[in-house]
């Protein structure tokens, strides 16, 4: 394994954690958009699993797209990935990507009904209130909230004095169509907006908040498309009210990025307590390791885990 250590001086990021001197050091790993080249990528993905098991992070998050948009969306493949997820030693939390359902109507993907695939995905991957992995952690699902019972994939958990949560936002414009039936998008957008309110409420007594999702909502001139506009606006509103640091990890675009992509005050100022990290993916089967150390002046160290 080739491990490049890139400490990022997050003096602005999670600055409130300076007061948390009694918090213990911990690490977690995020990755996604893999395995992409089905079958050819299996050996490399198995090396990724082996490497992450050897690293022994406190938990791992897969931010979606466990296949490419042009590979078969079969139930058999879903079962294979489910089995892979259970071979991780640390707890693993998974949030869906568009390639697992939105794009399954493509000819190369098998011309499935995307909503049928989403239903299968939910039943297969979210039948428990615990994470994947040989070691498991308890999760709290939005499905426990009245009116949002089917959104089993939106989950939150607390660790080391921080609030963590997944939110189901995907590429392909979040399944928003300029022409056609948008009922799934409308219903899930309503659920996601309510979920953000619930997650931020849960984070009020925590030192900070970290969110995980698949979609790169900021890929086009830093202005969200219609599929993400309301969510980004809600994120901006809640982050400003929250006052503490909010950290978003996403996949989708397959490039390692750290930035502050939300603009406020008529697009003239940067929302400084919101930071985004985007993971590798596709041909670059690498991961991001984030270490929180309350004794460190930089608070967080972000490392690229480049796996041979």
Pairing mode of beta strands 162-166, 263-264: unpaired
DSSP state of 98: G
Is the pLDDT at 270 greater than 80? The verdict is yes
Task: Dihedral sign for Cα 16, 18, 19, 21, please.
Answer: positive
Residue 107: which domain range?
A: 2-306
Is the pLDDT at 16 greater than 50? The verdict is no
Task: Dihedral sign for Cα 197, 182, 253, 112, please.
Answer: positive
Q: Report d(CA 16, CA 285) in Å as an integer.
A: 33
What are the tens digits of pLDDT across the range 126-147? 999 999 999 999 999 999 999 9
* Rg, the chain, Cα only: 18
Q: Report d(CA 308, CA 298) in Å as an integer.
A: 29
Is the pLDDT at 303 greater than 80? The verdict is yes
The backbone torsions φ and ψ at residue 259, rounded to the nearest 5 degrees and listed phi first, read -160, 180
Is the pLDDT at 297 greater than 70? The verdict is no
229 pLDDT band (50/70/90 cuts)? very high
Which residues are CB-contacts of 222 (< 8 A; sequence separation ≥ 6)? 261, 263
Please count the structural domains in the chain.
1
Q: What is the mean pLDDT of residues 111-139?
A: 98
pTM of structure: 0.91
Q: Give yes or no for a contact between 117 and 100, defined as CB atoms under 8 angstroms apart.
A: yes
Report pLDDT for 179. Answer: 87
Task: Say which CATH number the domain at 81 has.
Answer: 3.60.21.70
Residue 259's DSSP bridge partners are 276
Burial class (CB in 10 A: 0-12, 13-18, 19+), 175: buried
3 pLDDT band (50/70/90 cuts)? very low
**Mean pLDDT, the chain, whole residue set:** 90
State the CB neighbour count (10 A cutoff) for residue 256. Answer: 17
Q: Residue 82 belongs to what H/E stretch?
A: helix 75-86
């Amino acid at each position: 394994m080739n491990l490049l250590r890139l400490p990022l001086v997050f003096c602005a990021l999670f600055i409130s954690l300076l007061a948390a001197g009694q918090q213990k050091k911990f690490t977690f790993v995020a990755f996604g958009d893999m395995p992409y080249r089905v079958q050819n990528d299996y050996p490399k993905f198995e090396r990724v699993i082996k490497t992450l098991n050897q690293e022994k992070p406190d938990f791992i998050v897969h931010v979606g797209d466990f296949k490419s948009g042009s590979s078969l969306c079969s139930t058999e493949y879903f079962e294979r990935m489910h089995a892979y997820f259970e071979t991780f030693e640390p707890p693993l939390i998974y949030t869906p990507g568009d390639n697992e359902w939105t794009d399954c109507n493509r000819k190369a993907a098998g011309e499935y009904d995307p909503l049928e695939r989403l239903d299968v995905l939910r039943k297969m991957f979210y039948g428990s209130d615990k994470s994947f992995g040989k070691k498991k952690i308890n999760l709290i699902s939005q499905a426990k909230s009245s009116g949002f019972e089917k959104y089993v994939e939106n989950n939150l958990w607390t660790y080391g004095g921080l609030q963590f949560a997944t939110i189901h936002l995907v590429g392909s414009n979040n399944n928003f169509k300029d022409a056609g039936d948008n009922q799934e998008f409308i219903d899930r957008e309503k659920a996601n907006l309510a979920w953000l309110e619930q997650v931020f409420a849960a984070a009020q007594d925590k030192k900070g908040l970290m969110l995980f999702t698949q979609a790169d909502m900021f890929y086009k001139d830093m202005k969200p498309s219609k599929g993400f506009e309301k969510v980004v606006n809600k994120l901006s509103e809640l982050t400003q009210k929250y006052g503490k640091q909010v950290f978003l990890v996403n996949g989708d675009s397959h490039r390692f990025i750290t930035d502050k992509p939300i603009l406020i005050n008529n697009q003239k100022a940067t929302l400084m307590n919101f930071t985004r990290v985007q993971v590798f993916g596709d041909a670059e089967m690498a991961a991001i390791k984030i270490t929180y150390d309350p004794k460190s002046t930089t608070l967080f160290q972000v490392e690229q885990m480049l796996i041979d």
